[in-house]
Amino acid sequence: MFTIALALVVLCALYWYGTRTFKYWENKGIKHDKPVPFFGNSMPLYLMKKSVTQMCTELYWKYPNEKVVGNYGASNPELIVRNPDFVKRILITDFAHFYPRGLNTHKTVVEPLLRNLFFADGDLWKLLRQRLSPAFTSGKLKAMFPLIVERAERLVDNAINAPPAGRVLDSRELMARYTTDFIGACGFGLDANSLNTEESAFRRLGAKIFQTRVLDIFIQMSKEMFPEICKHLKVLGKVEKDVISLVQSIVKERNYEPSDRNDFIDLLLECRRKGKMVGESIEKRKTDGSPQEVSLDMDDFLMAAQVFVFFAAGFETSSSATSFTLHQLAYHPEVQKEVQEEIDSVLSKYNNKLCYDAVNELNYLHCVFKEALRMFPSLGFLIRKCASRYTFPGSDLTIDEGVAVLIPVQAFHMDPQFFDDPEMFKPERFLCDFINPMTKNVYLPFGSGPRACVGERLGLMQSLAGLAAVLSRYSVEPAPQSLHHPRIDPSSNIVQSVVGGLPLLFRPRVT
């Protein structure tokens, strides 16, 4: 009898633990789907049936009259925001309440490679941001441009190499290899040669980073359900050794000093040479209420973490965006023709050579790229975590510290409230300012506010250069196996991807 009673007590305790937060949104009068013990509303994510973007989009349309919708990530309350004014407050106006991104499930134990500008929170994020921002000034971007041109020329001369009848290529993989080569050169001063080598080690590393294994899902699920017990479990162990070894070898080769390459590794070495990063804390206060001073050393592991995110975020987002742009142009030949005419006209002024100034003049191509990012943003959602108790102005909703806030970017981008005919590919909508003033708070392919993508201009420049190089020499058409509306990979995590790639027919232009 004692054993049975003990088992019942344990089961009751487990049930309480797995449902202890499930009255949170009900008590606040916020509509939400019914959660499942332990799993909350995240079962489809754990089973890889839906991505976070798909989940956010589904809830966005399920509750069309609500400003916010409740959700439970395992047992953690989450808020999906449907109101543009709330979005602006979260990302910009009231940023002090929402500075954490909240992607680390434990505040004190953070995996080494997650101590980077994208994943970091609090003082670590602030110190890194103020020290690394100079890497992306206009002067540095212009200095990098010859490296971009060299990779773009390799792309059209070697990687595509289509005969007159055309050649079917997976544009997703093609642009991923171009982006990987670019990042190898501009980031690390390396010739990754991913465009000419199918089994490039650099490309394999990139693929490995975004490979979602069942074990990774299990570890992440365990960390969300039992954060204290599972705080030392690693998701990124499979790539840590590769990235740290890569960085250490490059740093050693440069004798631990900045070289004349002016790449990302040089910037990190310059950061280290300047000594400690010092600044005012956004987390800690003195007794008089003023911020404490905090500092941080740029050691090998912190350098490796920045290299990891520069590589991972840069190649995956840009390759996704450029390949989807080509996909849309294949299905809209009239738009493609107009883009090519602009490219021909602009390049004719620069001896038919790509250069920094030429890319900046490709206004219509820029609009096409923006429209592709509207329809399929690489980051289909943004996430922030409430840092201190917060009441949304003009409402009676107050959320507590630790509540995650999700901004459904993909859903906003496809809402006819903000974009006329959202299912239609219409680049001209970006030729002038939006008539709807709310749109600026919901068109968010690079985020907004202090935590907006620090590499936006670099990613944009590299993406437009690659597209211009391809379209100056080739036209793209749907391949026999192409799908007009590709199927989103439900196992996508932060960056969206599609199932089966994006195959297209590349045909040499007749000029």
Q: Residues forming the annotated binding site for heme?
A: 453
CB 22 within 8 A of CB 62: no
Token pair 């300047």 in the structure block, residue? 274
- DSSP assigned state of 440: G
Task: Please tell me the distance from the alpha carbon of residue 459 to that of residue 447, in angstroms, as a whole number.
Answer: 13
Task: Please tell me the distance from the alpha carbon of residue 266 to that of residue 252, in angstroms, as a whole number.
Answer: 12
Task: Please tell me the distance from the alpha carbon of residue 309 to that of residue 128, in angstroms, as a whole number.
Answer: 12
Known binding positions: 453
Would you tell me how many other CB atoms lie within 10 Å of the CB of residue 452? Answer: 14
Task: Please tell me the distance from the alpha carbon of residue 368 to that of residue 328, in angstroms, as a whole number.
Answer: 9
The backbone region for 259, taken as left when phi is positive above 0, alpha when psi lies in -120 to 50, beta otherwise, is: beta
**Long-range contacts from 366-369, C-beta under 8 angstroms, 24+ separation:** 366/430, 366/460, 366/464, 367/427, 367/428, 367/429, 367/430, 367/431, 368/325, 368/328, 368/329, 368/335, 368/339, 368/427, 369/321, 369/322, 369/325, 369/460, 369/463, 369/464, 369/467
Helix (H, G, I), strand (E, B) or coil at 475: strand
Would you tell me how many other CB atoms lie within 10 Å of the CB of residue 309? Answer: 21
Phi, psi (rounded to 5 degrees) for 68: -140, 155
**CA-closest candidate to residue 193, choices 161, 158, 145:** 158
Would you say the C-alpha torsion 249, 250, 254, 258 has a positive or negative sign? negative
Task: Please tell me the distance from the alpha carbon of residue 292 to that of residue 54, in angstroms, as a whole number.
Answer: 41
CB 152 within 8 A of CB 485: no
Cα 385-387-391 angle, rounded to 5 deg: 90
Task: Please tell me the distance from the alpha carbon of residue 222 to that of residue 217, in angstroms, as a whole number.
Answer: 9
Bridge-based pairing of strands 277-285 and 167-170 is: unpaired
Query: What does the radius of gyration of the chain's CA atoms come to, in whole angstroms?
Result: 24
CB 470 within 8 A of CB 462: no
Which runs of E-coded beta strand occur in 235-381? 277-285, 291-296
Task: Please tell me the distance from the alpha carbon of residue 223 to that of residue 217, in angstroms, as a whole number.
Answer: 10
